[in-house]
Structure 1
């Protein structure tokens, strides 16, 4: 299944996620045709159980999809929709088609079976039809049309990050969070998405730097042949490999230590890679016309979403302390504290 997903999503996004489409989205235009093409592919429902119309795909199967979304700067909530339908499926709820997003910062309260409060920083909130959130020990599905107010916002990449208010709204569906999912499953899932997307964007940045260093000629030879430039690109390649491997390991097993490690590695790589990429490209890379900024601005934005590197580093530290010295090395080799 993974190989099929990889080949299909790469062809799809390579054709439709053009720089022009990405820039139009940053200007506030919802890419309806792009979303229709993605929805027809079935990727948004892929993680849902087969009984709900999904494919029952694992996170390992879907890793290439998340990677491709980052590599092509996909201007739509496909990763969020995948996470939402996975959450709904885990809670025994039906999968939902159409534009769908997830709320990490959900400050909602129950009153007589209805919800009131605020969702902050919802990715693509103003454009989606439904949003999934964790309220107490319940997984809830809300219609964005029932929001009493939507305050539009953006991250540094120009992607929609909106605040939504609700007042005495009955959810479309709700169910108890299964015991197999932790209370911060939305945070963990979001961190996994951003780690994989960041790895994809890093791959795109490396490809652009390698091409530029090969084609750009100074003093009669390609700049990549100069030791300083070659060294920078080698460091960049190391960071890309590290971020990709840790994100893939987290998708292979949805576990706290793996997700935390992937988020830390991807966030640190994002800062290093963006600096190297713009140094290699020189003044050309800072222009709006060059597509490098589409990827580097997303690196800067995604590294702090669903928890910063310092926050996830603290989580790793706490996990290590709770496990104690005797469990430290076994946890490193096993990839998880037991």
Structure 2
């Protein structure tokens, strides 16, 4: 990690320490978002961290965005930064569209979306299910094949839903006529595709999961050092030490897998690394959350303890954009398709 990214990560961590509710003893309302933290992140300059400066962004890359997302996952931050910086900003920059201010979200069109034709205005209708943070977003950016549709707040309604962690996963309901200028064609040479969108979405969830696993480990280390049984801290017991060691190993492996995948994506490499990162973090999510709750006992499940903020996110993010079983199947199929001649390149990225 470069000095610049380290400083940026430290600044994001400071903002989260000041404004996030990772240590709150009472849960924030389900489906709410942290506007104060978003404002602080915007002032730091990370809300468009992965968008080139010539397109109005901060000029960072995927690796920088992943480093920030790990911190946000660690602090259970209720902000749509992955959707704004890594997805919506990427789609708009790919068409040279003007970047709006404020939080955004992004999604794939799906089979129910209908976009008409017209030189000045276009009829758009349909429903897009479980769009992250839609109720908080000023704009919803939709990838429809080789087109990017920008929906403003007045162009859509929301049927509210949440994931297991209480984060917004809303159905976007569209019955509107929008200016044709809100529909942008992708250039023929653009790398933007539905598959690349899915890869970025999966990498974002993996990065957030990595951060949440680290938080669960930190809470478990602290609790094990404070909780006494039979006259000594439970951290002195071998079984607890083994639990903590296993959690630490999974947390470190997740971090390495996520950051390696980001570097490979930045270098234009094969997206198999994203599949590997989603598999590794998905497996870690199950083990880390189980061991964290074993160490904490019944206390960790209560509203009074902040462990639930991390573990419910681990469970939710593990299954979003495909769980480890689905990605394992895809990675296995890629290995079979590569054959003996291409397997080495698939595994190492070396031609």
Aligned length: 335
CA contact (8 A) 1:109 1:135 kept: no
Name the SS of the counterpart of 2:96 in structure 1: coil
Task: Tell me how far 1:217 sits from its aligned partner.
Answer: 1.2
1:103 paired with 2:118, answer no
Aligned to 2:64: 61
Name the SS for the 2:135 alignment partner: coil
Q: Equivalent residue of 1:44, what SS? A: coil
Shift in alpha-carbon separation, 1:105–1:24, aligned structure 2, 3 A: farther
Return 5+ residue gaps in structure 2 as ranges.
Answer: none
Aligned equivalents of 1:140 and 1:20: distance in 2?
38
**Where do residues 1-338 of structure 1 align in structure 2 (5 Å cutoff)?**
1-19=4-22, 25-83=28-86, 84-104=88-108, 106-107=110-111, 108-113=113-118, 114=122, 115-147=124-156, 149-170=157-178, 172-176=182-186, 178-254=189-265, 255-334=270-349
Deviates more, 1:74-83 or 1:198-207: 74-83
TM-score, normalised relative to structure 2: 0.89
**Residues 104 and 222 of structure 1, relative CA distance in 2, 3 Å threshold:** farther
SS in 1 for 2:175: strand
Contact 2:286 2:315 in 1 (8 A): yes
Q: Structure 1 residues 237 and 276, CA, compared in 2 at 3 Å: closer, same or farther?
A: same
Question: Following the alignment from structure 1 to structure 2, what is the Cα–Cα distance between the partners of residues 210 and 218?
Answer: 15
Contact (CA 8 Å) 2:210, 2:255: kept in 1 or not? yes
Q: What is the distance in 1 between the residues matched to 2:31 and 2:258?
A: 30
Q: Residues 102 and 138 of structure 2 are in contact (CA less than 8 Å); yes or no, is this contact kept in structure 1?
A: yes
Moved more, 183-192 or 17-26: 17-26
The CA deviation at 1:277 is 0.4
Q: What SS class does the counterpart of residue 162 from structure 1 fall into?
A: strand
Q: Which moves more between the two structures, 150-159 or 32-41?
A: 32-41
Superposition deviation, residue 28 in structure 1: 4.1
Secondary structure in structure 1 of the residue aligned to 2:47: helix
CA positional deviation for 1:119 = 1.4
Deviation of 1:139 after TM superposition, in Å, equals 2.2
Contact 1:206 1:233 in 2 (8 A): yes
SS at match of 1:170: strand
Cα distance change on mapping 1:176 and 1:105 into 2, 3 Å:
closer
Q: Deviations over 1:154-187 (max 9, x none)?
A: 0010011000121243262422164323332221
Structure 1 contact 139–176 (Cα < 8 Å) conserved: yes
**CA separation of 1:133/1:283 partners in 2, compared to 1, >3 Å: closer, same or farther?**
same
Q: Distance in 2 between matches of 1:181 and 1:196?
A: 21
Q: 2: distance between equivalents of 1:46 and 1:112?
A: 34
